[in-house]
Structures are given as structure tokens and as C-alpha cells.
Amino acid sequence: MGSHAKSWLLEHETAREMLERVQAERPFLLLPPLHRVPIRVGNVVELAGPSSSSKTHILIQAAITCILPKQWNGVSYGGLGHSAMFIDLDCRFDISRFSELLNHRIMEAGSSSKVGCHKMESEAQFARMEHYNEELFALCMKRFLYTRCYDSSEFLATLKTLHYRLQKERQAHGLNVHLLLIDSIGAFHWLDRGSSSFSLEGDNRKSWHLQNVSEAVVQEIRRLLLVHPMLVMATKAVALGNKYSTNELTRSYGKWPAADNQYSRNVTSTDQKLPYREYMPAVWQSFVTHRILVRDTDDDSVNDEHPNNSVFLLEWLMPPVNSLDKFTVTNTGVFILS
């Protein structure tokens, strides 16, 4: 008995070893333009912004960085080499734009490395380079998984069957999904609010309204993150200009008792004034670990190198960072201005 108790006290690893292990297994990702705050697998990042503020573009940028390999054929692409999943709830994803951006990234990395070593002398070399690029392009595109949902029941059905699909992918292709992108999370908000007037028979039957649907969505994603650790990035369309404080959240939180209390955190910690009106239910808000606000500016003065491209402002709301980042969107992706 004594030795059994003693074995509890034996250390498994030092803190330094643990830090090294965790950093190797779950490294911090610094994806521009989200480079101010390191994010890692297991985080839930919410990108809020009015429409046409390049939110989807940031998701695409993250997906491309995820699917590109770190190194391939001697050229370093600086990617992660994992799969990315894109759940399109807005149903307006443009694959041609995505493939354009991917191609540009591949060619940019290829040309910048070749210039350093030696110039491309023969046609054959050029053709071979093109062939490699095409091969890499096909490889990366196969790592990008896409689906769209036209209503909440399709979204829930997708989430519920995602675990088995990921298991299948892992067994068949050895692919590990590192990134889950949702565009946009509030898409069915009004649809679900509108359907809450159905009254259903049955005593303990859950009715299909916004609160239950959101709880189910959050629960499914949480469960998924336990088994398949991924970084979740979701966009959310908001209307800027309405200043409502988050005190409203704490009041409404009391009205709907959360199903699983051990999972929900307190919302009372953030008492900041948000520059937009929050409409997502409290269960989603407490699930989000990082929050960013993106918006368009009319500022053309900073934009000397890239005229005709809009400049966007990025602000970290959670954790709050005091500076604003300016970036613009070009053909090769996101370009940080300041």
C-alpha cells in the first residue's frame, strides 16, 4: 500500500518537458493577419464584421496555410501539411478564387526559392517546375474538404456525422484535420428564431428553437474537439454601430439554464462595450475563446503599394490588444500594412 501511494508522487515529466511536448504536439499558429495573438489547436476563434469585410478571405488564407506542406521538393512553403474542413453556411464560397490564391502562393514560394539558387535556364526545367506545381496543387486541393448546409438540420446532421467521416479519412488517406472553418455561424439565426413557435406534443420533448439548436451545435463541436483536436474559426456577420454593453448577456444568461453546467463558463468577466450588437446565444458566446472584429476603412492614404484594394482594420476584442492592424487583400493573399 505504501509503495502504491508513493508511485502517485513520482513525477512523469518536468514542467519544461511538458511544455516542450505540448508545443510540439499543439504548436502555436501565427496566421497573418491574426499574428498578434498566438492561437492553437483547441481554440475557437470568432471573426466578426459587417458584410464584405474580408472575413471569408481570412478563413481562406488560413485554409491555404493549413493545406500547403511545410516543404516539398526542396521548396519551403511554410504550411502545416494538414487537412482543412470548410462548412459553408452562407453558401457563397467561390472555388475559383480559392484555387487562384493557392496557385499564386505555390508560384510565389517556388519563384522566390529558385531566384536564390540558380536561374531557370532550360525549357525542360520550366516544364518540370510547372509539373511539380500542378502536382502540389492537386495534392493540396485534395486536402481541402468542403460542404454546404442550407438549414440548421443539415448543419447538425453534418456535425453529428463528422466524427465518423474524420475517422474514415484518417484510415483511408492518413489525413489529419487541423482546421475547421465555419462561414458564417449566425446564418440560420433568424430561421431558427422564426421556427420557435412550433408546439410539439410529448412531455420531455425538446422543441426546435434557437436555444436548443445552438446548444446542440456547441455540444457537437466540443465533443469533436475532444477526439479530433482542431482549430475552429467561425465568421459572424454583424451590423456595426449599435452600442450595447455585454451586461445584456449576463441578464439573459440567467433566463436559460445551460444543460451541462460543467461546460459553460461565466460570461460576467467581459464587461467591455462591443461596437456591435451581439445576437448569438450565450452558449455560443461562452464557447468562443478568441474574438476579432474586422471592418472596411475608407483610408486610402496608407495604400501606396496597392492602389484599388480596400484596406481593412482588424481589432482583437478577446483577448483585448490595444493596437489595430491594417491589412489589404491582394491576389497573393493578405498583405499586412501596419
Partner 1 sequence: MAPLKNLETEYPIIDSTFRKFCASHGIFSVEDFLIHDLYMLAAFVEQDISSERLKEGITQVLSIIDDMHQPWWNGMELLEDAKRNKHVLPTGIQGIDLLLGGGIHIGQLTELVGPSSSGKTQVCLQTASNVASNHMVLYIDTSNSFSPERIAYFLGKTIDVASAQAKNQIVQKVMSNILCHSVFDIFAMFDVLHQLESHLRYQDGGGCQMRLLIVDSISLLISPVLGSSSTQGRALMLSAGYLLKKLAHQHNLAVLCSHFKTPIHGFWEGCKICDLGPALTG
Quick one: 52 or 269, whose CB is closer to partner 1? 52
Q: Does 219 bind partner 1 (CB under 8 A)?
A: yes
Q: How far is the CB of 206 from partner 1 (least distance, A)?
A: 5
Quick one: 252 or 323, whose CB is closer to partner 1? 252
Q: Does 156 bind partner 1 (CB under 8 A)?
A: yes
Q: How far is the CB of 321 from partner 1 (least distance, A)?
A: 26
Query: Which x/- pattern over 15-54 shows residues binding partner 1 (rule: CB under 8 A)?
Result: -----------------------------------xx---
Contact 179, 233 (CB under 8 A): yes
CA-only gyration radius of the chain, Å:
23
Query: Which x/- pattern over 50-89 shows residues binding partner 1 (rule: CB under 8 A)?
Result: xx--------------------------------------
Size of the site for partner 1 (CB under 8 A): 57
Return the residue matching grid coordinates 467561390: 94
- How far is residue 237's CA from residue 46's CA, in Å, rounded to a whole number? 10
**Residue 127 three-state SS:** helix
Identify the residue among 95, 115, 127, 302 touching partner 1 (CB under 8 A).
Answer: 95
Backbone dihedral angles phi then psi of residue 137, each to the nearest 5 degrees: -60, -50
Identify the residue among 195, 246, 303, 310 touching partner 1 (CB under 8 A).
Answer: 195
Which residues make Cβ contacts (< 8 Å) with residue 231, sequence separation at least 6?
Answer: 29, 39, 40, 41, 42, 43, 45, 178, 179, 180
Strand partners, 47: 235, 292
Which residues make Cβ contacts (< 8 Å) with residue 171, sequence separation at least 6?
Answer: none
Q: Does 193 bind partner 1 (CB under 8 A)?
A: yes
CA distances from 154 to 23, 33, 75 (A): 36, 31, 41
Quick one: 90 or 278, whose CB is closer to partner 1? 90
* 3-state helix/strand/coil string of 317-337: EECCCCCCEEEEEECCEEEEC
Amino acid at 73: N
Q: Does 268 bind partner 1 (CB under 8 A)?
A: no
* 3-state helix/strand/coil string of 284-313: HHCCCCEEEEEEEECCCCCCCCCCCCCEEE
Identify the residue among 150, 248, 272, 331 touching partner 1 (CB under 8 A).
Answer: 150
Q: Does 229 bind partner 1 (CB under 8 A)?
A: no
Quick one: 90 or 325, whose CB is closer to partner 1? 90
Which residues make Cβ contacts (< 8 Å) with residue 247, sequence separation at least 6?
Answer: 271
Query: Which x/- pattern over 128-147 shows residues binding partner 1 (rule: CB under 8 A)?
Result: ----------x-xxxxxxxx
Q: How far is the CB of 227 from partner 1 (least distance, A)?
A: 11
Q: Does 91 bind partner 1 (CB under 8 A)?
A: yes
**Residue 116 three-state SS:** helix
Q: How far is the CB of 307 from partner 1 (least distance, A)?
A: 19
Contacts with partner 1, residue ranges (CB under 8 A):
50-51, 90-92, 95-96, 98-99, 138, 140-151, 153-158, 160-161, 164-165, 184, 187-188, 190-191, 193-195, 200-206, 208, 212-213, 215-216, 219, 223, 237-239
